[in-house]
Amino acid sequence: MNEFGNKVAQKRKDMGMTQMEFADALSVTRQTVSRWESGAVVPDVDKIGDIARILGVTCDYLLRDDIEMEQGTMAGSKVSAMLLATQGKKIKITFCEDEADIDLYDQVCTVVGFEGNWMKVSAQTKKETIEKIIPVSSIFSIEIMKEEA
């Protein structure tokens, strides 16, 4: 295994993710993840940022051998990899009882991104598009909506 592959495999395992879960989060096959981790191939440049984001590390940490884990950890990144995998997807959010957001009640939202422990979502109402930044801690559950064919 190469150093990049070692880092990806170790961090993925530390997070309790299987190769299949990691592959799904990146929209690649499990075999692709296996080839990255074994050093048989290197991911495309556009995938490096996605890999780093999901693993909660910096691109420098993944690509450079002289950076230790603590230096390569993204500041304030406490959002789980499974939650990060919802980015760009259409979802329905159920909020914790005391945290309900009336604007997003029963709305299909698109996850725009994450900043620390906050999630930015966008939803289309009958009248307008609304964007909200919500605390991840207020979310009880997320239902990922099926893609329309």
> What does each of the 149 residues of the chain score in pLDDT, given as a tens digit?
478 899 999 988 988 889 999 999 899 999 999 999 998 988 988 888 889 888 888 887 888 877 665 444 444 444 566 777 788 899 998 888 766 677 788 889 999 987 767 888 999 888 889 898 888 878 888 888 887 65
- The reply to whether 69 and 92 lie within a common domain is no
Structural domain tally of the chain?
Answer: 2
Cα–Cα distance for residue pair 125/53, rounded to 1 Å: 30
pLDDT at 74: 46
65 and 92 inside one domain: no
Number of C-beta neighbours around residue 115 at 10 A: 11
Closest CA to 117 of 77, 75, 61, 65: 77
CA distance 12 to 37: 10
Please check whether residues 135 and 96 belong to one and the same domain: yes
Contact indicator for 84, 54 with CB cutoff of 8 Å:
yes
> Domain of 41?
3-75
Give the model's pLDDT for residue 15.
83
